[in-house]
Structure 1
Amino acid sequence: MTTLREAASAVAILAQGRQADDGERGLTRSDAHLLRDDTMRLATTRHQYCDHCGRVTVHDVTVYYDDPFSSDEIVYCIECAE
């Protein structure tokens, strides 16, 4: 799982217009979906337990390339949608 700090690091590297190896970015092969897309953002997902139903809650965090410190966080439970 990629942390917000690792995501911001990847954003900074990509903003400089250069490619970095996996070690420099701190990303794993399983995090390949986190790379640049058409909307110029980096998306990560975190998991925790829902207070409402006790099942897994999903947090989608979007970090924008032009401003890595402003991010949108969408929090919802995949089981009860609370």
Structure 2
Amino acid sequence: MVFRLCFFFGWIGRVNTRSLLLFCCFFLFFPSLVFRFSSSALWVFFLFYLSVFSLFFFIPLVPWAPLLLQATLSEIRSLSSWDHDLV
């Protein structure tokens, strides 16, 4: 699994080293914390960390997202103009 993560981050080519280190350390030590304390607060912290990490790390790694949005909007416009021409 670690090899797959390294391959993924290496393939993307835009790695934020600090975020990657935090990500790896958190996922290495989090299971031991859960088994030791086993509280729901840790799961809430885990979900919060995952959501913040995904917002600031994974979204900038998708450079084609604006192009996809632009293509989708142009497709919607073309479909709406096509329907208007039929009426």
Tell me the TM-score normalized by structure 1. Answer: 0.30
Tell me the TM-score normalized by structure 2. Answer: 0.29
Structure index of larger Rg: 2
Structure having greater relative contact order (Cα 8 Å, sep ≥ 6): 2
Q: Which structure has greater strand proportion?
A: 1
